[in-house]
Chain A
Amino acid sequence: MSRDANAPAAAGRPEPSDRDTGLPGLRSWRSVYVAVLGVFVVWIGLLTWLTNHYTP
């Protein structure tokens, strides 16, 4: 084994590219999560419209 997996050696070590999302317009993770939630809400809205519009 290259490393004892039972030792928490890697605990607390920051990983590279952790904070930067690399997404244009969505620089922080908070904004990514808000965008995902926003898309989710839009989907619920569209599905609700579909349900109401086509229910006889």
Chain B
Amino acid sequence: MNTLDYLVLLGVLLGIAAYGAWCTRGHRDLRSYVHGAKNTHWLTIGLSVMATQASAVTFLSTPGQGYESGLGFVQNYFGAPLALIVIAIVFLPIYRRLNVYTAYEYLGKRFDSKTRLLGAGLFLIQRGLGAGITIYAPAIVLSTVMGWRLDATIICSGLLVIGYTVSGGSAAVNLTQKYQIGVIFVGMIAAFFVLLTKLPADLRFGDALTVAGGFHKLEAVDFSLNPDRRYTVWTGLLGGMFLALSYFGTDQSQVQRYLTGASLRESRLGLMFNALFKIPMQFFILLLGVLVFVLYQFDRPPVFFNQTAWHRQVEQDSSGKLRALENDFNRAHDDKERDLKSWITARHAGNIAGAESAHDAALAANTRAEAARNETKTFLKTADPHVGANDSDYVFITFILGYLPHGLIGLLVAAFFAATFSSKAGELNALGSTTTVDIYRHIIKRDADDAHYVFASKCFTAMWGFAAIGFALFANLVENLIQATNIIGSIFYGVVLGLFLIAFFLKRIGGTAAFCAAVAAQALVFALYSTLNISYLWYNVIGCAACMLFGIILQLFLPRHTTLVEIPNAH
């Protein structure tokens, strides 16, 4: 990065943050601090919901996922449109008509205080634990590649988010997210077009797709019923729908975004915007990674994309093993490049037999290259356990630094930070609001004035922000931590979704039954997690189903419940 890149980076990030803080300063009542002025347009809501979900990891790692595994990951999002329609029909009208600050406040109205506290507590635990990762994961990649200090990267980016989130509350989050997602889209689209210009001049776009398809990178859908397959249409529809229902429907960081709408119509259209564009967005990011893969078939990539870690180990490797592996990789890659060119030429000439032969030779060379790459990863991991064996997070940033012009590099790095800020701000905003509304105002201080609650909300938002920075500073096993965060989310999400589905659809079940069912279901999930060895995604389904089933059974032995509030009909 040169001076121009740093000017673009700082100008974009500080400009958006300062603009957001300035435009939304001076909130004096809690409702406008938590929900903004309730005049948000549907497009802002839609972009805000999208920005909250899409963190920097999405834009850094997903192209790497496309590079390594192709388009199949897009199936994970197949359940999202269906879940968002259900939320727009069922969840949203209820939240809006009851005029709640938080999703968990609804549990208090529908059931009782203890169930509300349970829902809020489960959210605070899982989201609070995950908050540090949102800052840490992109910081470790960017600081490694750029040579920045990791702690300075974490602290500076964390403090900036805390500053404007505390200052402007929900309105500042919405406003800044709109511009941040704009920067992200502009950066990603610019990278896409630059990438197309960097492909070999005689390689048409159709040829590029043929090359990608030849290495099975364009297998976007898999209708297989084989449970061993990680991404299929069916796991995407079922598991993805459960995940999206819990995340978009019950996670306060998302609920708070769409409750800022000027009307039910604006909130609904904001959700439908995401239902329409979630899959295309993920497809586009994965396709970007696939095209980076094609580019690197004709321009030799590094044997290991985390070049900082690789160079460090090469200097310490007295046996010369790493250099030997690099030579093996380079030879295999050069063979592959030659065979690919022969394949494309044979295809253009209509020589089917020659094309098949060249394709087979390219696949064989690719197998040799991958073997050298995998051996390199194993060697590096053995030499330094802190080096993640999975270097796919470094693929896209390596492409950016190697191929994009200065200025655009700064814009792309700004886009990664913008993505960090947008999702972090949404999380902090929700954590602060939930702590204030569901814990502090509900239990500790019930009858203070609005100015007091706004001040408390600012303090809690800052507290969660500093906790996230502290967590990120002391994290040093990035792969394990990311996995741990996903596991923590899946362990809690199912039970919380179960509570909300009982509230919406099982109207005879009262607070005590729901509370005990949730506690029992959570205990069951913990017990299963410690004894079974199944994919953690299944705990979303198990927790939800167990909570609902236990609720139905327990209610048989408890006094009949009368719903405290009228649940409005969904339109």
Contacts and interface: CB of A to CB of B under 8 A. Distances in A.
A, B: real partners = yes
B121 interface: no
A11 B109 CA distance: 11
Contact of A47 (B82, B109, B213, B283): B283
Contacts of B88: 29, 33
Contacts of B565: 8, 11
B265 A54 contact: no
A13 B97 contact: yes
Contacts of B221: 44, 47-48, 51
Given A12-B566, A29-B268, A36 B85 contact: yes
B510 interface: no
Interface string B102-136: 00010011000000000000000000000000000
A32 B212 contact: no
Contact of A54 (B97, B105, B212): B212
Most buried by B among A1, A3, A16, A32: A1
Interface in B205-224: 209-210, 212-214, 216, 218-222
Contacts, number: 112
B305 interface: no
| Secondary structure type dominating chain B contacts | helix
A10 B29 contact: no
Interface in A17-45: 17-23, 29, 32-33, 36-37, 39-40, 43-44
B571 A6 contact: no
B450 A47 contact: no
B99 A37 contact: no
A11 B96 CA distance: 9
Given A5-B437, A17-B265, A10 B98 contact: yes
A18 B109 contact: no
Contacts of B437: 5
- Chain A interface size, as a band, is 35 or more
A8 B98 contact: yes
Interface stretch (B269-277, B326-334, B481-489, B514-522): B269-277
B99 A21 contact: no
A3 B453 CA distance: 13
A18 B450 contact: no
Contact of A37 (B85, B96, B283): B85
Contact of A55 (B31, B97, B219, B449): B219
Contact of A11 (B98, B279, B283): B98
Contacts of A50: 71, 218, 220
Nearest to B105: A5
Given A8-B109, A48-B221, A36 B279 contact: no
Contacts of B359: 56
B164 interface: no
A55 B566 contact: no
Contacts of B218: 50-51, 54-55
Given A11-B565, A47-B221, A56-B216, 13 more contacts: A6-B108, A10-B97, A11-B566, A15-B97, A18-B264, A40-B81, A47-B220, A48-B220, A51-B71, A51-B222, A54-B210, A56-B214, A56-B359
Interface of A: 1-3, 5-6, 8-13, 15-23, 29, 32-33, 36-37, 39-40, 43-44, 47-48, 50-51, 53-56
The 3 A-B pairs with the shortest beta carbon distances in the complex, nearest first, are A54-B213, A10-B99, A47-B220
